[in-house]
Amino acid sequence: MQYTLFGAIDIGSSEMELKIFELSRGKGMREIDCIRSRLELGKDTYATGKISTEKLEELCLVLNDFISIMKSYKVDAYRAYTTSAIREAKNRTILLDYLEKKTGLKIEVLDNAEQRFLDYKSIAAQANEFNRIIEKGTAILDVGGGSVQVSLFDKDSLVATQNIRIGNLRIRERVAAMEHMYGHFEELVQEMTRSELQNFKKMYVKDREISNVILVGDYLGGLSKAASLSIEEFQKIYDGVIHAEPSAAAKQFDLPEESISLIVPTLIICSEFISAMGAESIWMPGLNLNDGNAYDYAQRNRIIRAGHNFDDDILASARNIAKRYQCSKSHVKIMENLGLQIFDRMKKVHGLGSRERLLLQIAVILHGCGKYISLSDPADCSYQIIMATEIIGLSRKEREIIAYAVKFNTMEFPYYEELSRETDLDRSEYLTVAKLTAILRVANACDRSHKQKFENVKVSLKEKELIIQVDTPEDIILEMGLFAEKAAFFEEVFSIRTSIHQKKRM
Amino acid sequence: MEKELSMYMDPAYYTNRELSWIKFNERVLSEARDKNLPLFERLKFLSITESNLDEFFMIRVASLKDMVHAGYTKKDLAGLTASEQLELILKQAHELVNQQYSTYSRSLLPALKQNGLEVVVSHEDLTKEQGDFADRYFEENVYPVLTPMAVDSSRPFPLIRNKSLNIGALIAKKDDPEKKVDFATVQVPSVLPRLVHLPDGKDGGKRVILLEEIIERNIGQLFLNYDVICADPYRIIRNADLTIDEDEAADLLNEIQKQLKMRKWGEVIRLGVQDSMDPRLLKILKKEFHIQGEDIFRVGGPLDLTFLMKMYGMEGFDHLKHPSYKPQPVPAMMNDDDIFTQIRKGDIFLHHPYMTFDPVVNFVKQAAKDPDVLAIKQTLYRVSGNSPIIAALAQAAENGKQVSVLVELKARFDEENNIIWAKMLEKAGCHVIYGLVGLKTHSKITLVVRREEDGIRRYVHLGTGNYNDSTAKLYTDCGLLTCSEPIGEDATAVFNMLSGYSEPRKWNKLSLAPLWLRNKFISLIRRETSNAKQGKPAHIIAKMNSLCDKEVIAALYEASAAGVKTELIIRGICCLKVGIPGISENISVRSLVGNFLEHARIFYFLNNGQEEIYMGSADWMPRNLDKRVEILFPVEDASIMKEIRHILDIQLADNVKAQILQPDGTYVKIDKRGKNLVCAQEYFCEEAMERAKEQMPAEVHSERVFVPAEPMD
């Protein structure tokens, strides 16, 4: 049997973890080893904005241990991820360089949306259970050290996902400062989280019925042997932990005593969430980022085939953003069809992959969102909206690529030297922006009137010419007229001419 | 829960552990007194009682003395203060010592003489010829290594070493008109054999004399210008335990740390002399060692009977010893497969010393050589000198495997030995963990991680005894070789924890002390209790070395009161009392003291028919449950469960070596009249031999007919 040994490292805000997985087509994901070491990096970051030298040295020690453990397993590959504790540290560039020099480990800083997407993937990896649960309205609460991610599913599609900065470590540190003056920890945390969750509910849940809640986060898995719980069972665990001495709670639930101080805020947040959503049943699969990391690796390397289409989730959340900004659905539909056809026909020319195809699709979906704010300056408004809105599964840079493509859809395209003054996109990312912009412009030009004249189109590439053949009885003079300008840019980027041919109906 | 159990915690229900220990040593002594045993085996048992007693004084009595000095007033589980305990212990210890010497002089010495080995008790009894031999031996071998030391106004009393045998003498200058008497002392050299062979008798009989007698005979040679008024041997035991015994409460430790000055390091806690000692000499020793009353043991024979172990080793008396037993091969492993293949075929149960310890050694050896092995991890507690396991681990590291070894430095008396091996392993490239702060690692576990064709597979050995190939020939222990996935996962987690990483989020099969094991045992016992209360059958069989945990005993009382049939097989200390009306009438306790040291820990629970069997490294003692890293593992293979149940049944049927605890705290042997004799240890020896024989490849067939091969289709 062919299998891959994979090391997943998570440098979290309160703990570092190495998991060794055996990945194979036959047995799927099998966890071989799990090594955890407590180190509250987030305590430094959230309080001072920096990670102290002492913590950094300790981090190096543990990482070097992790490396030797991975070596002893002779792992075939690894991916080391770090999240908000380092992402939010002001000195992150310096310390990442230091870590890399000291350990030789390549550490990637995940954006929140990427991190949450991996967490979410870890859950979805439990395909059967997951698919059954999301048939009904489901909310996922992913509790991290710095923030929580709330995601909504309706009829097995992702409808919304939001990040709220009420992570367990952040809350603990913030409340600890007040606790001695204002007393009750539980009430303080409840108050802090309640208003945030109510806002989320008002904006996204509305009158949707949420029957299931999925809880994800460190330590939650250890609290209950069964993954599925009723509200009463959860309440019992809640009471057992919150209203007991830490040592007694640790004993009862077989938990490390030092983790109780984080479990307490975690449970309060969860409990508030459950009552805000009005859910009937709870699922705590006890998975974390490393599971998602390994699953994602296995899926990308075609070791495991996913039962769930994750790109659809990303698209779904993009469509929900579009909906919020009242983008024209029918216009988007035409453009998507056209844009993707162009993309697919041009594969050999542009050399982009499926990920960029997804970015194009999202760019199409969101290209008009700025009109919600200003009809005179939609391009820049769209850019600002996209840059300010997290899209689950996309990194910040990917979002930036989309935002620029959308912006330059209608604005003048700047050259690299000029653009690089305002962004840290590198050359290849810049080229992606250029190529996506070119396709977007052509697609957009074809439905200038928003009258869906280009419903039936066929795109074909012949030598040096891309022919868009449209089958419509309508008059397309407007489109034809404006097309030349867009085609010029297309030609500049791809060295391919484009033309519209109307199939005349007899 | 604790509230309910408290009604079973009345001190009247408990026996003091030290007094129970003395009872154990009495049982060992009773083996020395058993005329059915080969004579030389009896010597061995007597020697063991002596070394046991030394250790007992050095650790336990010393600890109690510390408590008295520190003014510690907390009572033990039987409601006794430290000074009350000391009083009772000393009284019984004196009785024990008297019995030791009456056994030696009245029973063993005459029997030895009858069998052609004469021990010349006193140098005055030597014949002229023997005397000349002894004198020559003294001159040539002994005199050069002696260091006599006299005490006078300019020379203080010398430091007398713990457990050393010495001769004290009163001497007076020959030309001193006042005849002023001085004290002098000389250590009986430990580098020379204690037993000195004298020339054989005319009938070929062997004769021996003790070294100190030869020195006494020639003591004048040491103090040439003096008259030796008297010379007598003496021996001291000091408070040797440099740390507080782990069995004591942590608050005691604090107490003593606070009163560090109060503690008398190396205080003499026992003085042994012969009852013939000159009273003037004894007076000086009492004054110098600050010792009096019951702490002085006057014996009617040679001091320090551990020389009997050397006598046991004398050649030419094999007919007076048990024939030596050769550990048998393990039936499941009597084939040409490599050990990993054998384990993959199914869990393998090992029962030492009936079965050989070789598979355990080979497990590490083969892992060290096997190209597919990635890592070997092991806990080592007490290792034999020249251990083949250590050599294999070092080899593995040199072969590029990841080798992690936890070496427990706190193993009593073995510290130095362990440090040497640990350093060697480190040099070879092993990752050595030197124990955990505040916890002794007592668990016995080995993990081998192998990268196989169909994935990572883990092989685990779990045992009840140490990874010590020498003691494995003497201690009865059980072991399990398995590649069960859940156990492999747990084993990985155990080593992660021992390496200082966080504990796992969950355990599959193993229960660990000090965090989870106590609760596990209590809940297993209480499950039987609740079954009994519901009228379901309930049965506990537990075999271990010692039982002295208050909470566990209370849970057993509760179970017994509810009607749970409880059979305990406890070699050593047992603080539980049997036969208390309404409390412990359903509990029986038996102790097996035999040729091999009973050492396995096995726990059987009926669980309303869904039997569960566990084995592990832990006794039901507070130190095992609270202060040590211990592992309890379930046995789940049906045929192995059956085998273990069989072992327990045979031990429960033993009527030769077994002694049964009585309600009055004494142990008595079983009346054998009209019964088939069952000696569990002998039974297992024979059984192991038979099973190995059955598995032997049948003799090559004597058929001489050649069979022509059929042509292939």
CATH number at residue A166: 3.30.420.150
CATH assignment of the domain containing A12: 3.30.420.40
* CB contacts, 8 Å: B456 with chain A: 5, 22, 30, 32, 73
Residue A121 lies in a domain: no
Both A328 and A462 in a single domain? yes
Write the residue in B455, B501, B504 that is nearest to A30 by C-beta: B455
Tokens of B272: 């042994």
Residue A101 lies in a domain: yes
Residues with Cβ within 8 Å of A438's Cβ and at least 6 positions away in sequence, in order, are A489, A490, A492, A493, A494
Both A456 and A335 in a single domain? yes
Long-range contacts of B386-390 (CB under 8 A, 24+ apart): B387/B421, B387/B467, B387/B468, B387/B469, B388/B361, B388/B469, B389/B360, B389/B361, B389/B364, B389/B467, B389/B469, B390/B421, B390/B424, B390/B425
User: Across the 506 residues of chain A, what is the mean pLDDT of every consecutive 10-residue run?
Assistant: 91 91 89 90 85 91 94 94 88 91 92 86 78 84 88 79 86 78 78 88 85 84 80 89 81 76 90 90 86 91 82 87 87 89 91 92 92 88 91 88 92 88 89 93 82 80 86 80 85 89 70
Both A88 and A131 in a single domain? no
- Please report, for residues A150, A198, A235, A278, B690, the alpha-carbon distance to residue A201 in angstroms, rounded to integers and kept in the order given: 10, 5, 22, 11, 76
- Interchain CB distance below 8 Å, A286 and B502: no
Positive or negative, the CA dihedral A252, A254, A256, A262 is negative
Query: CA nearest B403 in A: which residue?
Result: A72
Region of A423 on the Ramachandran plot (φ > 0 left; ψ -120 to 50 alpha; else beta): beta
Write the residue in A22, A38, A251 that is nearest to B502 by C-beta: A38
* CB contacts, 8 Å: B516 with chain A: 254
* CB contacts, 8 Å: B506 with chain A: 221-222, 225, 254
Write the residue in B401, B455, B492 that is nearest to A1 by C-beta: B455
Residue A183 lies in a domain: yes
Point out the domain boundary residue: A230, A254, A286.
A286
- Interchain CB distance below 8 Å, B506 and A1: no
Specify the amino acid at residue A228: S
Torsions phi, psi of A442, nearest 5? Answer: -65, -45
Write the residue in A15, A22, A34 that is nearest to B456 by C-beta: A22
Region of B357 on the Ramachandran plot (φ > 0 left; ψ -120 to 50 alpha; else beta): alpha
- Is ipTM > 0.85 here? no
Query: 10 Å Cβ neighbour count for B164?
Result: 14
- Residue from B485, B502, B520, B626 whose CB has the most chain A CBs within 10 Å, to mutate: B502
The SS3 call for residue B678 is coil
Percent above pLDDT 90 for chain B: 69
Both A315 and A420 in a single domain? yes
Q: Give the model confidence (pLDDT) of B352-381 as tens digits.
A: 999 999 999 999 999 999 999 999 999 988
User: Across the 713 residues of chain B, what is the mean pLDDT of every consecutive 10-residue run?
Assistant: 76 95 96 94 95 90 86 89 95 96 95 93 91 95 92 85 92 85 92 93 88 94 91 89 49 48 65 93 93 92 94 91 91 92 95 94 95 94 79 92 84 62 86 79 92 93 90 92 94 91 84 87 95 95 95 96 96 95 95 94 95 94 87 94 96 94 94 90 94 76 63 57
Q: Structurally, how many domains does chain A consist of?
A: 3
Write the residue in A36, A254, A286 that is nearest to B502 by C-beta: A36
Tokens of B393: 């681990």
Is residue B701 part of the annotated active site? The answer reads no
Both A323 and A348 in a single domain? yes
Both A495 and A354 in a single domain? yes
Q: How far apart are CA A200 and CA A140, in angstroms?
A: 13
N-to-C CA span, chain B: 76
- Interchain CB distance below 8 Å, A256 and B502: yes
Q: How far apart are CA B266 and CA B15, in angstroms?
A: 29
Q: Are B607 and B531 in contact (CB under 8 A)?
A: yes
Rg (CA), chain B: 29
User: Domain residues for A363?
Assistant: 310-502
- Please report, for residues A225, B15, B339, B494, the alpha-carbon distance to residue B507 in angstroms, rounded to integers and kept in the order given: 11, 35, 27, 9
Both A460 and A330 in a single domain? yes
Q: How far apart are CA A391 and CA A161, in angstroms?
A: 8
- Interchain CB distance below 8 Å, B516 and A254: yes
Residues with Cβ within 8 Å of B264's Cβ and at least 6 positions away in sequence, in order, are B69, B239
- Residue from A254, A284, A303 whose CB has the most chain B CBs within 10 Å, to mutate: A254
Task: Put the strands of the sheet holding A77-82 in their side by side order.
Answer: A28-38, A15-24, A4-11, A77-82, A107-109
User: Half-sphere exposure of residue B302, counting CA atoms within 13 Å on the CB side?
Assistant: 26
Both A255 and A316 in a single domain? no
Distance, in angstroms, between B493 CA and closest chain A CA? 8
- Interchain CB distance below 8 Å, B374 and A74: yes
Residue A484 lies in a domain: yes
- Residue from B401, B403, B404, B456 whose CB has the most chain A CBs within 10 Å, to mutate: B456
Q: Give the model confidence (pLDDT) of B440-474 as tens digits.
A: 888 899 999 999 998 999 999 999 998 888 888 89
The SS3 call for residue B491 is helix
- Interchain CB distance below 8 Å, B456 and A286: no
Both A317 and A244 in a single domain? no
Both A352 and A262 in a single domain? no
- Interchain CB distance below 8 Å, B451 and A27: no
- Interchain CB distance below 8 Å, A32 and B456: yes
Distance, in angstroms, between A289 CA and closest chain B CA? 15
- Interchain CB distance below 8 Å, A38 and B503: no
Residue A305 lies in a domain: no
Predicted confidence at residue B249, as pLDDT, reads 45
Both A428 and A460 in a single domain? yes
Residue A232 lies in a domain: yes
Residue A115 lies in a domain: no
- Interchain CB distance below 8 Å, B502 and A15: yes
The closest of B108, B73, B81 to B18, measured between CA atoms, is: B81
Write the residue in A24, A74, A254 that is nearest to B451 by C-beta: A74
Q: How far apart are CA B257 and CA B252, in angstroms?
A: 8
Both A91 and A238 in a single domain? no
Query: CA nearest A287 in B: which residue?
Result: B505
- Interchain CB distance below 8 Å, B492 and A68: no
Give me the catalytic one of B442, B461, B539, B599: B442
Residue A83 lies in a domain: yes
* CB contacts, 8 Å: B453 with chain A: 1
- Interchain CB distance below 8 Å, A30 and B454: no
User: Half-sphere exposure of residue B329, counting CA atoms within 13 Å on the CB side?
Assistant: 11
Tokens of B15: 């026996």
Q: Are A303 and A255 in contact (CB under 8 A)?
A: no
Torsions phi, psi of A463, nearest 5? Answer: 50, -110
Residues of A with CB under 8 A from a CB of B: 1, 3, 5, 15, 22, 24, 27, 30, 32-38, 68-69, 71-74, 219, 221-222, 225, 251, 254, 256, 286
- Residue from A6, A15, A33 whose CB has the most chain B CBs within 10 Å, to mutate: A33
